[in-house]
Amino acid sequence: MKNSCLSVNSSQIILFFILDLKNVLASFITYNSLITKMITLQNIEKVYRTSTIETLALNNINLNIQKGEFVSIMGPSGCGKSTLLNVMGLLDEPSKGTVQLDGQPVTQYRDKELARLRNQKIGFIFQSFHLINDLTVLDNVEIPLLYRSRNEGSSNGKPREAYAKEALAKVGLSNRMKHFPKQLSGGQKQRVAIARAIVGNPDIVLADEPTGNLDSVMGNEIMNILQRLNDTGTTIVMVTHDEQMAKRTHRLVRLFDGSQVL
C-alpha cells in the first residue's frame, strides 16, 4: 500500500484511496472470476426405465465444479460415475434436477444448442480412446473443428489443420500426425484423444477413466498432461478407479449407488 509510506495532503489521500479502490475492485473481480462455477448440478436424478425394470442411476446429486478445478470422481463399478459425467457433458438428460454450464441453465436446451455447447465448451476423453481407425491422427484431432462454423472455429483464417498440429504438439505427438490409430500404442492413442479434446480450446475437459486401459507409466504420463492442461486454466473432471491418480487432483467426489457420499 503506497499511501501508508508517503507523507501526503488530504487531496492526495483521496486520490490514492480512489486508486486503491480500483485495485481492490479489480482484485475482487479477479477473485470472483476464479471461483466462478463452471458446472452446477442441482438435485440431479437419473432413472433408466425399461418395460420391467426401473434403475436409479443418480440420486439427488448436488455438485459445483469451479472454474480451473481438477476434480476426480470415484466409486465402485455401476455407482453412476459415467452417468454423472454424461450428464455434466450434456450427453445425457437428467430425469430430474437442473444442470448449469458456465452459469447457463441448459436443461431446456435443444439438440442443436447442446451440440454447440459440447463442441465449444467441453472436451471429452474416454477410457477406450474412441479414435476413428480410418482417419489419420491429424484428421482425428480435427474432428471437433469440423462441427464449428468458420466464425466459431478457425478464426483469423487459420486452417483447422494448424490447430490440430498445435494440439498434437502439446501432447508430444507431432511426429505421428500421418499415422493411423492402429499404428499407435495405448498411451499414444490416449494422447491423441487428449489432443482431440483440447483442439477446440474448451473450458472443461471430462475424462472417463483416461488411464484405465494403460499401464502405470503411461497412466502417469497421461496424468501429467492433464495436470499441465489444468495449470493453464482448463477445468477437468475425471472419473477414475485409481486412488493415486485421484490424490493428484484438487478434490475428490465419491459416489455410491448413485448417491454422493463425499
Partner 1 sequence: MITHLFKLIWNKKKSHSLMIVEIWASFMVLFGLTTLIVINVGNYRKPLGFAYENVWAISLKNNQDTTEVANKIQRILQKLKAYPDVESASRMSANSPFSSYQTSNSVEYDKRKVSVDIYATDEEFAKTLAMQTVTGSWYRNTDSVGKYVPIVINQKAKEGLFEDENPLGKIISERYKVVGVVNTFKAKGEFMTDKPAMFELLKADQPWNNTMLIKVKPGTDAVFEAQLVKEIATMVKGWSVEVDYLTDSRKNQHNLVLVPVTIASIVSGFLLINVALGLFGVLNLSIARRRGEIGLRRALGATGSGISTQFIGEIWVLATFALLIGLLFAAQFPLLTVFDVPPSIYLTAIGLSVAIIYGIVTLCALFPSRQAALIQPAVALHEE
CB of 201 to partner 1, least distance (A): 13
CB of 58 to partner 1, least distance (A): 12
Q: Which residues contact 81 (CB under 8 A, 6 or more apart)?
A: 73, 74, 75, 208, 239, 255
128 binds partner 1 (CB under 8 A): yes
Stretch 140-169 residues interacting with partner 1 (CB under 8 A) = 142-144, 146-148
For partner 1, the closer of residues 124 and 163 by Cβ is: 124
Quick one: cell of 212? 484405465
Nearest to 88 by CA among 127, 147, 47, 40: 40
Q: Among residues 67, 96, 116, 241, which is the contact residue for partner 1, using CB under 8 A?
A: 116
Judged by CB under 8 A, the stretch of 21-29, 35-43, 66-74, 107-115 that binds partner 1 is 107-115
Helix (H, G, I), strand (E, B) or coil at 180: coil
124 binds partner 1 (CB under 8 A): yes
Question: Checking phi first, is residue 96 left (phi over 0); if not, alpha (psi -120 to 50) or beta?
Answer: beta
* Site track for partner 1 across 222-241, x = CB under 8 A: --------------------
Quick one: cell of 153? 472455429
Q: How many CB atoms lie within 10 A of CB 260?
A: 20
Contact between 204 and 122 under an 8 Å Cβ cutoff? The reply is: yes
- Provide the binding-site residues for partner 1, judged by CB under 8 A: 82-83, 86, 89, 91-92, 111-112, 115-116, 118-120, 124, 126, 128, 130, 132, 134-135, 139, 142-144, 146-148, 196, 200
